[in-house]
C-alpha cells in the first residue's frame, strides 16, 4: 500500500510539473521529439538494444550500454506481455532537454516512459515506471 501511494504521488508530481512547463522551445519540434521517443520504445519492444543504443548520446552509452539495457528490460518485458499501443504523450522542456512522457499499453498492464532528448534528438535519459 505504501509503495502504491508513493507511485501515485510521484505520478501526480510529474504530471503537475509537465502541465506547468508549457511545451518545448523553438529548439525542438514536438512531433519529431514524440516520434523519436516512440522509436526508442518500439526498439525496446522489439528487443533491438543496439538500435536503442544507436540513439543514445555518448554519456548515456557509457552508463547504459546495449547489454546492460537488455538485462534491465527483459524482466520488465516478460511481465508486461505484448505491446498494444501508445495511449498518451506529453512533452516539456527541462534544463535544455526535451522530455517526452509516453504511456504505453501492454497485454498485462501499462508502462510510462520518461525519455529525455538533446537538441540532436539523441537519447540522454530513460526512466520507466
Sign of CA dihedral 100, 18, 70, 104: negative
CATH for 2-128, options being 3.90.79.10, 3.10.450.590, 3.30.1360.30, 3.40.470.10: 3.10.450.590
Find, among 72, 65, 59, 66, the residue nearest to 124 by Cα.
59
Query: 91, 100 in Cβ contact below 8 A?
Result: yes
In 3D space, the residue among 34, 7, 12, 26 whose CA is nearest the CA of residue 99 turns out to be: 34
* β-bridge partners, 91: 100
Say whether 23 sits in a helix, a strand or coil. Answer: coil
Query: Which pLDDT tens digit goes with each residue over 1-55?
Result: 344 333 333 443 444 444 444 588 989 999 999 999 999 999 999 999 999 999 9
This prediction's pTM? 0.81
Picking from 108, 105, 104, 107, the residue whose alpha carbon sits closest to that of residue 37 is 104
pLDDT digits (tens, 9 = 90+) for 48-105: 999 999 999 999 999 999 999 999 999 999 999 999 999 999 999 999 999 999 999 9
Domain locations in the chain as residue ranges: 2-128
Amino acid at each position: 500500500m505504501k509503495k502504491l501511494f508513493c507511485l501515485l504521488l510521484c505520478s501526480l508530481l510529474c504530471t503537475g510539473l509537465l502541465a506547468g512547463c508549457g511545451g518545448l522551445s523553438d529548439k525542438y519540434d514536438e512531433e519529431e521529439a514524440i516520434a523519436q521517443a516512440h522509436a526508442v520504445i518500439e526498439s525496446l519492444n522489439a528487443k533491438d538494444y543496439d538500435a536503442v543504443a544507436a540513439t543514445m548520446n555518448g554519456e548515456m552509452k557509457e552508463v547504459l550500454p546495449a547489454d546492460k539495457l537488455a538485462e534491465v528490460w527483459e524482466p520488465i518485458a516478460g511481465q508486461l506481455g505484448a505491446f498494444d499501443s501508445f495511449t498518451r504523450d506529453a512533452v516539456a522542456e527541462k534544463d535544455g532537454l526535451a522530455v517526452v512522457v509516453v504511456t504505453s499499453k501492454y497485454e498485462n498492464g501499462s508502462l510510462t516512459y520518461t525519455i529525455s532528448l538533446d537538441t540532436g534528438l539523441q537519447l540522454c535519459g530513460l526512466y520507466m515506471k
